Chains A and B, each alone.
Chain A
Amino acid sequence: MKEPTNMKGSTSMKGATIKALGPWLRLMGERRARLMFGALLMLATLLFAIGLLTLSGWFITATALTGMTLAAGGAATIDVFTPGSGIRFFAVGRTAARYAERLYNHDTVLRLLADIRGRTFAGLSRLSGRELARYRAGEWLNRLTADIDALDNLYLRLLAPPLVGLLAVLVVSGILALAMPALGGVLLAIMLPLWVIVTLGMAVAGRGPSARRVETLERLRVRALEHLQGLAELRTFGVLGAHRARVEREQRTLLDDQRRLGRRTALGNALVTLTVQGAAVAILCLALLAFAAGKLSAPVASMLPLAVLALNEGLAMLPGAFVQLGATRTAAARLNAEAAPASDEGEGSLADEAEGSLASAESPSITFEAVTLRYPGMGTTPALEDVNLHVAAGERLTVLGPSGSGKSSLAQLVVRAFDPDTGSVQLAGKDLCSLASQALRSRLAYLTQHTELFHASLRDNLHLGLPVDHDLEEAAVESALWQALWIVDLDDWARELPHGLETWVGEAGRQLSGGQARRVALARVILRDAPLVLLDEPLAGLDAATAAMVAERLDTWLDGRTVLMFAHRRDALPRCDRALVL
């Protein structure tokens, strides 16, 4: 796993940010029209608010002056209806625009969230067995979730608001400039630096702690998960407290960074208030001077500061959003390294240009020719060296050997989780590399050493095993399912479960005993009904009586298939034609 790049150099920050967020911005670009419309709604809301206050200020001053003239016995007229209906229009428009904006934009964000999850998963599903093995640690999984979550507010917090805020500053400056060009200039001179400070400035101020916050939150997750998974051992040994100190240390770091970020956000928010209100006061004074000099009318002079005050709404959220930019960037950079959004879904792991397929449904033969395999990070010692092996069609071979002797590596090569460094593996005389992995995997069933059940119902877990494009009717599926359960001797057990096949199987099958989980995995492999079967320690964790019964039933089922079995001892395995000791 890559460490996030160190962020000490400040000049490279912008480039790095764009590089990290680039793929995700492109993904969002697919919903360009939605995003633009959402930003327009935001701008409309703000402009309605500015219009409401400004027009009201103008109206009151104008009517006051007219009133005074009338009271003094002078003649004056004022059209009260146009401004009146304008005020009503802005009032209702603001409400409607605000509601529509929030609803529309949150819908967009959640759509983006689904996009991001789907694409990330598709990206991950293209990782090879090698990479997945490297990534299997829980740390990575949790971080992945957190990183994806961090991207969800990219649009609503970091993309649209600064743009809308800037546009609002320009629009208000424009209004001021129409009344008196110098006022527009003054406002721009005050507000543009503020805009830069609350966006880029806050991003710089927050990048250290916010990037660290992501990491700490993730470490806290890891420690929390450790704490929960190790509860049995930690508790019985009476050392929960010692591990808890680690959890709490992470929490302290997290809270300290949150405090730093909170203080900086508060500073940014106070700065927005000071600057916007200060600018309103400055514009007020300048406008009054201009009025005294006869350059501005009184209603216009009193309406201009109101327009400035309304800018507060457009800028108030920016410091809080940008102080967290570092966090979003870090998350994006990590996701890029692991699961850049895939443009379309692919099946399998290795580069898959091969089109070859296996013609018949007959059991294939397997040949290893001078195969050498090295795992990355395992030094120079190869996992397999110059292996030559032939398994005839329909033959059953058992590979025996202690753990670490390369049994699982042989299986991994057959299913193309890895490709050999040198040599070749052939199926029915065809080099595996020439076969489409889809075609290959539809023909084989592989029981991995590590039992992997999903957090889903027993039925759903079993259904995974069914051939992908099976055209079986429901009744046929049902009977295949029970037949498989019978072979692994779980049929009676499943019938007696209060919820039957709908029983929820816990995380990694924790609600089941180790042996039951193993047998469910075996049943899943049986359901595939493939001509080539690989079984890695098929009966591990079963008691002798069950193991013997399952072995016997399995023996019949295996008839006519090409079978590779891997085990560290010979006993309680289905009959085999030949055994090989590694």
Chain B
Amino acid sequence: MSRSQAQTSARASRQWLAAQSREVRGWLSLAIAAGVIGGLATLAQLGLMAWLISAVVVHDTALVMLWPYAVALAGAVIVRGLAQWLQETSGMEAGLRVKADVRAQVLDQLAALGPVHLAERHSAGSTAQLVDQVEALEGYIARYVPQATLAVVLPLIFLGVAFSLDWLAASFFLIAAPLIPLFMALIGMGAQRLNEQQFQAMTRLAGHFLDRVRGLTTLQMFGRTRQATEEVTAVADDYRRRNMKTLRVAFLSSAVLEFFASVSIAVIAIYIGFGLLGYIQFGPADQLTLFSGLFLLFMAPDFFQPLRLLAQHYHDRASALGAAEGLRTLLSQTPPQGPRMESLDSELDDTLPLRARLTDVSVAHAGRGRVLGPLDLDIADGEVVALVGPSGTGKSTLLQVLAGFVDAEAGEVALRTETRVAWLDQRPFLMQGTLAENLRLVAPDANDDRLREALSAAQLGDLLSALPEGLDTSLGERGLGLSGGQASRLALARVFLSDAPLVLLDEPTASLDPDSEQRVIEGLTQLAAQGRTLVIATHHPAVMGMADRVLRLEAGQLHAHEVPASSEALS
């Protein structure tokens, strides 16, 4: 990415974040108001403390005579505590609301983009985006945004008071103050770029670790666990090096601030001391009293405190910008349009009504070139079509085009109006939860009897009757406890429960034993008998045997129809 591109994208990320914080304006305003009240209470507290010292030490007033001041002092401390509580809780509320809102946007977008776009990313990475990157926004909204205003308003109020006490001392604050945002901006720019890199490194780190743990059995078999352990440590160490680069810069901004705060306190203390001694003959120094001197000194740390807090929250900003970059990119992707819905009425009355029509369709994948087409295909209503051909020739892609997961690069894909689609692939989706919950996903209102019917139609009746807890049996993620064949048939049961007229199946019988395969085919035959249209990508002769039409795909091209290979299936 060139420098100007990087700047443009950083600006877009900032704008995106600003738009998110506008949604919670009310809470942020409350946080800022509370912060200002807290600042004023602090000012009152410090002034009263200086006043008490001065009254007792210089004017020899007895402390008991000053009790109203002491009461006011206690009041100021209490207001300060309450205001701090209010500022934190309102800021937090704003942060929580933004997170909920952005997560909803991301879910919407993921739903629109569909599974094929996701397959190009590591699903752990996408999960991290939905979970962690959104979490990264909270600190920015809750703490950084209110503090960014307070860091301007509060020092100005303090400065005003300081000016009324001694303009020369106040100008020591002033000399340091404008330098601070300048330094922070310079440092912030570098830190942000580094932070983005760090974010990528973090995603890679998480992905790498997860991947190697997932494959531990394989690593053990190949005797590579030691090597992998070293690799894990090395990747984590690389993460540390990248991180330290960011931090060296990020901490510099707080160090600059720290330096100015410390030096200002020192300069003011020395100026006031010399002024009080009468060593300074110019300016307002001869007006200094113990009260004004102490008040100025007390004020000095609190003058810088809002800025120091801002610097502390600066990494919240950097993380949020890093996250915003990723989230914005995701949210700005154009989702596939999916097939067009048309009446697909045939001009000639004697042909079957069509369910789907592909006209001159071709599909290309980034990095793999054209994977499908150009091809024409009409699928009649109620037809069973088997797609065969060597692996990697576009069978899955054709199904994905029909499902609307991928858009055709050229040509036109049309489904008959109101065609709902059911999908079944080699990795059946199993949710953590009971068997019934997994089925009811598709048909929330189905009663237990319908679920049982669907299970037996999918040839899972035996399993169900063998389960002591029946439909309430829990399933682990990826169907822990279910064999591959059983998981496929569970997914098939879902198809039975849905009333989708078009069913797309990607190798539904891969890695099943002949017995399971036969059961799945019986299930599919039942589906076809219900009048549904089935498009099945397969290698298995038995599946081809049940098809009305077998189409051969080679290098993305459809080839002449073959006779159903039922004779082969018997061999």
Contacts and interface: CB of A to CB of B under 8 A. Distances in A.
B478 interface: yes
A67 B278 contact: yes
A98 B258 contact: yes
Nearest to B126: A228
A441 B222 contact: yes
A78 interface: yes
A217 B99 CA distance: 13
Contact of A63 (B80, B89, B272, B422): B272
Interface string A113-141: 11101100110110101001100111101
Interface stretch (A156-164, A173-181, A196-204, A512-520): A512-520
A109 to B, nearest CB: 9
Contacts of B276: 60, 63-64, 66-67
B172 to A, nearest CB: 13
Interface stretch (B146-154, B205-213, B317-325): B205-213
Contacts of B485: 403
A464 B218 contact: yes
Contact of B74 (A117, A259, A281, A545): A281
A222 interface: yes
Given A94-B258, A103-B251, A231-B110, A569 B513 contact: yes
A233 B88 contact: no
Interface string A240-262: 10111011100110010011001
B391 A236 contact: no
A266 B92 contact: yes
A121 B209 contact: yes
B130 interface: yes
Interface stretch (A18-26, A186-194, A359-367, A447-455): A447-455
Contact of A145 (B96, B210, B247, B516): B210
Given A59-B273, A227-B110, A251-B103, A137 B476 contact: yes
B89 A230 contact: no
Given A61-B53, A127-B216, A267 B233 contact: no
A95 B82 contact: no
A454 B219 CA distance: 10
A256 B289 CA distance: 52
Contacts of A347: 220, 223, 225-226
Contacts of B421: 236
Interface stretch (B8-16, B187-195, B351-359, B423-431): B423-431
A292 B498 CA distance: 89
Nearest to B263: A91
Contacts of B239: 110, 113-114
Interface string A323-349: 000000000000000000000011111
A179 to B, nearest CB: 15
Contact of A52 (B52, B57, B74, B262): B262
B559 interface: no
B206 A403 contact: no
A417 interface: yes
A415 B52 CA distance: 83
B26 interface: no
Contact of B240 (A102, A114, A230): A114
Contact of A117 (B103, B104, B138, B236): B236
B211 A288 contact: no
Nearest to A519: B391
Contacts of A289: 63
Interface residues of A, number: 166
A121 B237 contact: no
B434 to A, nearest CB: 13
Contacts of A537: 511
Contacts of A415: 221
Interface in A269-309: 269-271, 273-274, 277-278, 280-281, 284-285, 288-289, 291-292, 298, 301-302, 305-306, 309
B520 to A, nearest CB: 13
B85 A266 contact: yes
A417 B218 CA distance: 11
B247 A514 contact: no
Contact of B480 (A78, A115, A137): A137
Given A224-B130, A247-B107, A117 B232 contact: yes
Interface string A208-240: 000000000100111011111111111111111
B488 to A, nearest CB: 11
Nearest to A498: B367
Given A60-B269, A61-B53, A99-B251, A224 B127 contact: yes
Contacts of B297: 53, 56-57, 60
A55 B269 CA distance: 9
B391 A271 contact: no
B111 interface: yes
B185 to A, nearest CB: 19
A511 interface: yes
Interface stretch (A32-40, A80-88, A476-484, A551-559): A80-88
Nearest to B130: A224
A488 to B, nearest CB: 12
Contacts of A288: 52-53, 56-57, 63
A541 B247 CA distance: 50
Of the candidates A229, A236, A252, A453, the one having the most CB atoms from chain B within 10 angstroms of its own CB is: A236
A217 B107 CA distance: 16
Interface residues of B, number: 153
Interface string B398-434: 0000010100000000000000111111111101100
A249 to B, nearest CB: 12
Nearest to A102: B251
B82 A270 contact: yes
B115 A235 contact: yes
A302 B57 CA distance: 9
Contact of A237 (B52, B214, B442, B539): B442
B123 A225 contact: yes
B364 interface: no
B177 to A, nearest CB: 17
B389 A262 contact: no
A122 B224 CA distance: 11
Nearest to A568: B513
Contacts of A464: 218-219, 222, 224
A71 B277 CA distance: 9
Contact of B225 (A56, A68, A125, A255): A125
Interface in B368-403: 368-369, 388-392, 396, 403
Contacts of B63: 285, 288-289, 292
B477 A137 contact: yes
A528 B258 CA distance: 60
Given A63-B277, A121-B229, A242-B444, A448 B511 contact: no
B183 interface: no
A270 B80 CA distance: 8
A446 interface: yes
Given A230-B431, A239-B441, A284-B49, A61 B294 contact: yes
A524 B265 CA distance: 68
B504 interface: yes
Contacts of A136: 214, 478, 480
Contacts of A438: 223
B124 A142 contact: yes
Contacts of A259: 92-93, 96
Contact of B62 (A64, A84, A98, A292): A292
Which 7 pairs from chain A and chain B are nearest by CB? A515-B391, A230-B429, A568-B513, A56-B269, A114-B236, A118-B233, A110-B240
Given A64-B276, A513-B391, 14 more contacts: A59-B269, A59-B270, A63-B277, A103-B248, A106-B251, A136-B214, A232-B403, A232-B429, A233-B424, A237-B442, A244-B107, A247-B107, A403-B516, A543-B391
21 contacts: A52-B265, A53-B301, A60-B290, A70-B277, A80-B273, A91-B266, A98-B255, A114-B240, A124-B213, A129-B220, A136-B214, A139-B432, A222-B477, A228-B127, A234-B429, A242-B444, A244-B111, A255-B96, A403-B513, A510-B119, A541-B507
